[in-house]
Chain A
Amino acid sequence: MLDEALAHPQGAPLVIEAPVKHWEALSGSGSHGQAFLPPTRGTVYGTLLNHRDALAALGDQVNSAPYKAPPRAPILYIKPRNTVVGHRVPVGVPGDAPELEIGATLGIVIGRTASNVAEDQALDFVAGYTVVNDISVPHASVYRPSLRFKCHDGFCPIGPAIVARRLVPNADALDIVVAIDGETVQRSSTAGLIRPIARLIADVTEFMTLFPGDVLTVGVASGAPRARAGQTVTITIQNVGRLENTLVARAGDGA
């Protein structure tokens, strides 16, 4: 049940805590709905190959060049602030990338400063959860990808809201559904994680403090769908929310 959340419609002076039914009404619905600001201004960290099937998709490649060994520590990257947009904000498609990869994932939103936390206490540091669309220009190698693939403006829609942790008791077993123009194109779950949420937080904060408002994604499942300009991408995570963004051709883009 999703009955309480933090949301931030564009133009609203403050973050509001309100029943979801209320802010859905506030923001209208469908393509005419109001765009939201991202629900946090913290740093967004992406996690890669944390789904068993995503790592399995690399198969034996992990043992050959350039990887040479299976991953040991969490594989992380940063989605910089220029990428972060809210629910219903249009996302520009670069001129040189006809299709973008849609990385549907659960975002863990940190509630208090987390440094070197133990796994059995890690969830105490979580404020709540949100939906993240970690968009990429499709690229085969995860050895040393160019920033161009993940860091275009708007490549990290987040929201619509942060749903309080106590309202998501089963965060390690949530269904994630991606739809493009209303048609379901991917189903996955947070149940397939190599590092479930508490373990991921423990392993990350061993070397890197997470601050209130920071977002750590749990990683994208294998078989990420692709979408083109003109299509609307909707990511629904059970108990957490439905994040919708339309891809648009970027006018005058020299890239």
Chain B
Amino acid sequence: MKRARVAYGGAIHDATHHLAGVQLADGRVLPEDAVVWLPPFEVGTVIALGLNYADHVKELAKELTVSAKDEPLAFLKSPGAVIGHRGQTRRPADVKFMHYECELAVVIGRSAKNVKAEDAMQFVAGYSVANDYAIRDYLENYYRPNLRVKNRDTCTVLGPWLVDASDVPNAHDLALRTLVNGVVTQQGNTRDMISDIQTLIAYLSSFMTLGAGDVILTGTPDGVVNVNVGDEVVTEIDGIGRLSNTIVGDAEFGR
């Protein structure tokens, strides 16, 4: 099943996929553009992976001084940074390089601590699509990637759906891509992750208890390009969803 959370008619609703768009729990069927899309579940801890696709590592090689060889390069984001499908993301006027990152989001379904890799998939509730924007102008070398790059308001887009794990036979063979204004700029496949989902859950749960609603953003392949105000950015993963987002400028935010 594909689940969503939307705002409509003065309330927030649980909803499911419908051929005509989306169906609210109360029965109403609405087109996609009639509702406001929220992140599809109550987001807990957001764990993001840097450099988890070999080709993206190559793409960034010039600025790297570490490798993901010894352990996954994970960092945290806060729930407050997350917005839903068809949202607006702010590009500050003074930046030169802001890019999207299309990522498979793995949503944890129940408390997980010291989980073995072979058991790890039992703790996955489902999957979603994430667009984990970064503004490289703000990159500094203390606690990389610093929050000013990676935890900005509106810069983590998640949705539209939470797709039940039971509906995804192989999460390690999903084609993913990004389109900017309809042109494909990034392509990859989740089979090329350096640390796969089992490995990531085993690694993270070896020191931290993961809880329901925690989400692992599993990294992005190469093909990140600058985006500008007015661009429509679609991050898409086959079988999981098509997540749309629009870049807006400072004026919309009164700056």
Contacts and interface: CB of A to CB of B under 8 A. Distances in A.
Interface in B18-46: 44-45
Contacts of A146: 71, 74
Q: Indicate the size class of the contact surface on chain B.
A: 35 or more
Contacts of B140: 69, 71-73, 75
B141 A76 contact: no
B147 interface: yes
Nearest to A146: B71
A48 to B, nearest CB: 6
Given A80-B45, A82-B208, A147-B208, A208 B141 contact: no
A75 B151 CA distance: 12
Interface string A20-47: 0000000000000000000000010100
A74 B151 CA distance: 13
Interface string B152-195: 11000000000000000000000000000000000000000000
Contacts of A68: 141
A78 interface: yes
A76 B138 CA distance: 13
Nearest to A48: B143
Nearest to A116: B255
Interface string B75-118: 11111110000000000000000000000000000000110000
Contacts of A166: none
A142 interface: yes
Contacts of B44: 81
B206 A75 contact: no
Given A77-B76, A254-B114, A82 B143 contact: no
Contact of A49 (B45, B74, B142, B153): B142
A144 B45 contact: no
B47 interface: yes
A43 B158 CA distance: 19
B142 A143 contact: yes
Contacts of B208: 80, 82-83, 147, 151-153
Contacts of A210: 80
Contacts of A80: 45, 76, 208
A207 to B, nearest CB: 5
Nearest to A153: B209
Contacts of A71: 140, 142
Interface of A: 43, 45, 48-49, 65-69, 71-78, 80-83, 94, 115-116, 142-148, 151-153, 207-211, 214, 253-255
Interface of B: 44-45, 47, 65-66, 71, 73-81, 113-114, 138, 140-144, 146-148, 151-153, 204, 206-211, 253, 255
